[in-house]
Amino acid sequence: MSANATFSPAGQQKAIRWYPPSYDIRVESIPFPTIQDPDDVIVKVKLAALCGSDLHVYRGHSGIEKDHTCGHEFIGEVIELGSSYGAVSAKGRPALYSNLKVGDKVVSPFTVNCGECHVCRLGYTGRCPEGALFGSPALEGGQAQFIRVPKGGGTLFNLSNPSTWSSGLPQEDRAKALTGFADSSLLLLADILPTGVFAALQALNHPKVAPVITGKPWPLCFSQDVVGLGNEVDFTQEDKLLTIGIVGLGPVGICAAVSILDALSTRQLPYRIVAIDLVESRRDKMKAVYAAVGADGKGNGEFVVCSVEEAKIQVKEWTNGVGCTAVLEIVGHADALALAYDLVRAFGVIVSVGVHGGDLLPLTGRQCYNKNVSLDFGRCPARAMFPLAFDLLVKRQDVFGGVGTEASLIDKIVDFKQAAACYDEFDKNKVGKVIFDPWK
């Protein structure tokens, strides 16, 4: 069934839909999406992924009461553009309003963002006031054959035109990379890879980490003008060693680990990393990924994969009881945050990118005060992270390129008939990341 031949506003398409209150996934025929606003784009979905954060809705923990099409990770082809595209009035707007074409291959971040308001211009695209999450009551999701993308010119990433995004790679290399990449690999850009890169970047660029990275004590590490040391004692090797914890080794945790290893290796910073998960199969996946990462992405450090209890002992041994410089909390659960607090040092930073629910945080004000701890929370501005995530995707095809191997993040690509079973298996930790092919 080819897209353009069958796409018509009067027709029906297949979609994976969630029904309240919980654990109810159905594959249904629903109407085709239509252009509702001049900035809309209609995309024919080639692949759509199942994500850990879909489970919050699946289990009925999100407070959502309305049925909707699932999924916020998708890649596809533009089949229809609203009237904003190619118009003279597109001048001064994001470039895609001028040059996005029918037939272009696009990947979308998991939220819509306008790309042109104050918030988006600063790069905080995940919190655009006009934003919405795909696969929610506010916006139908990508686990369908077709999807409407509002504010497409600000939201989409045009994989057919590498001149439309910034990159550390020359444009020819970007274009060359794209021809060799599987759609399943490029789909990692929709959420998990930018979110992993975001967690790593926030930790390494946090002011609390600056003394270790610059080799100068707080607060002299922030001053360009101060040279030499006064009454301070010289740093030892131990002082320049970053100790990092990663709590949660699902696909995002693994992306965060690969990203932080790459950054440390590029900057030749010495490190010790402890990667932690409750589930043995996820720990095994992390070990396989670490083994698959080439020497150019590992640098000079120690990397261990642990259970929770092992991690506490490991960090104590490594740091003489002081704790980790930074801890990445990738789970979005109170227990994971409590563990991050246990592991982090005084004057340390916790970066939390997991989706937390309505519970109070498991930390008292006194605990936060007593450790001088910095808490950095929230959703990844995925669209803004795409250029950095794309460069890492190119560099690390050794782990981001495969499907169904020991070291690949994606376990399998299945048809819609297996949707309900896959949600169930994913919920029970029996399968890792699954991708749906709506045309299979």
Binding site for Zn ion (CB under 5 A): 51, 114, 117, 120, 128, 191
Question: In sequence order, which residues have a C-beta less than 8 Å from that of residue 336 and are 6 or more positions away?
Answer: 247, 248, 329, 330, 354
To the nearest whole angstrom, how small is the minimum distance from the Cβ of residue 120 to Zn ion? 3
Nearer to Zn ion, 51 or 209 (CB): 51
Nearer to Zn ion, 45 or 51 (CB): 51
Nearer to Zn ion, 53 or 325 (CB): 53
Which is nearest to 43 in space by CA: 438, 328, 321, 440? Answer: 438
Distance CA 22, CA 111 (A): 23
Q: Where are the alpha helices (DSSP H) in 158-300?
A: 171-180, 183-186, 192-204, 210-214, 251-266, 280-292
Nearer to Zn ion, 384 or 407 (CB): 384
Q: 208 — alpha (psi -120 to 50), left (phi > 0) or beta?
A: alpha
To the nearest whole angstrom, how small is the minimum distance from the Cβ of residue 115 to Zn ion? 6
Nearer to Zn ion, 70 or 244 (CB): 70
Count of CB atoms within 10 A of residue 419's CB? 23
Please calculate the CA angle 191-195-201 and round it to the nearest 5 degrees.
155
Nearer to Zn ion, 186 or 209 (CB): 186
To the nearest whole angstrom, how small is the minimum distance from the Cβ of residue 110 to Zn ion? 5
Question: In sequence order, which residues have a C-beta less than 8 Å from that of residue 341 and are 6 or more positions away?
Answer: 350, 362, 363, 367, 371, 373
355-365 b/e with 16+ CB inside 10 Å = b? Answer: bbeeeeeebee
Distance CA 112, CA 149 (A): 7
Answer for the pair 153, 92: CB distance below 8 angstroms, yes or no: no
To the nearest whole angstrom, how small is the minimum distance from the Cβ of residue 432 to Zn ion? 13
Nearer to Zn ion, 100 or 344 (CB): 100
Nearest residue to the partner Zn ion, using Cβ: 51
To the nearest whole angstrom, how small is the minimum distance from the Cβ of residue 69 to Zn ion? 15
